[in-house]
Every structure is written in structure tokens, then in C-alpha cells.
Amino acid sequence: MFWYLLIFSSSHGQVLKTQREGLELAFPGDTSVERKVLFLTDDQVAKIEPLAKAKVESKLVTYYVGSHADSITGFAFFETNVVRTKPETFMVVVRPDGAVKLVEILAFYEPLDYLPTPRWLKLFSDKTLDDQLWPKRGIHNITGATLTVQSITQGVRKILAIYQVAINKEKH
């Protein structure tokens, strides 16, 4: 009986990195990090949703701005989605030019068989919000993990649209 429970629990997800560890990865060294909160307007949501081709679930957006020597190095966002029946949390770091710097999975509670590899996550590096940022176009599918691929890609698209519409326009 104990052996069965051990196998069962090892096949399910877990926290892989804390938010703090994610921010340290995004903004290493002596980069200063500032937490920001943004309240999206109805007009911004009306622009973001068609750009992202995704629904904005909350008008409240929390993100982090990394800066070094009075220069912004990037923006980190945390996204949590339900993949099948359980959540995943990932971080997307956007460079000031609006391209993805990195995507990192922080927590994944679906079976680990559906967890994307670091190599797959690197497909998002340098991507911008365009027609190639879709599964089976600029983002390869993962056999057996289609819902994970769709969830992460949609989350990245939404974050890039929020950045483009609401944050890139702000003065930091």
C-alpha cells in the first residue's frame, strides 16, 4: 500500500521554483526589482483580448520591473492557468523591446509527463506577439501535452498583449 502511494505521489506535479527564485533568475546580480500593480481599463481590455486572442480574466495585473544602472532590463509576469484539472504557474520575462526573454515553469500540478522541457520553453525566447506565436507555427507541439502547450502559449500571448497595450505606453 505505501509503495503504491509513493508511486502515485511522484507522478504528480509540484512547486519547481518559488516566486523569489524566479525573480532571481529573471533579474540576476545587483539588478533592482520593483513590484508594480496595474488596473486595466475597459478600453485596454478591449484592445488586449483581440491582440492576444485570449480572455483577460482579471483587470488587476501585478508585474515586476527589473532595472540596473537606471536602465530597465525587463518585466516579469506570473501566470497561473488550469491545464486539464490542475494548475500550472509560469513566469514570462519580457524585454523592454517587447520580445520574450524567457519562460520558466514555477509550479506544475498535472502529472509530470505533461511538463514541458526547458528546451521547449526556449522556443519562446525572442518571440514577439505575431501570427507565428501559436502551436504548430512558431511553437512546436509536444506529443501528449497539447493542453499544456496551448495554455502556456495563450498565457504568453496575453502577457505580451498586456505589455504592448498597457505597460509599454507607461513611463517607468
What does pTM read for this prediction? 0.88
Strand partners, 68: 71
Is the pLDDT reported for residue 152 higher than 90? yes
Q: Is 134 helix (H, G, I), strand (E, B) or coil?
A: coil
Q: Within its chain, how far is the Cα of 25 from the centroid? A: 14
Distance CA 120, CA 171 (A): 33
Q: What pLDDT digit, counting tens, does each position of 44-87 carry?
A: 999 999 999 999 999 999 999 999 988 999 999 999 998 888 99
Is the pLDDT reported for residue 20 higher than 70? yes
Q: Work out the pLDDT band at 7, boundaries 50, 70, 90.
A: very low
Distance CA 77, CA 63 (A): 5
Residue boundaries of the structural domains of the chain = 12-167
pLDDT average, residue stretch 89-111: 95
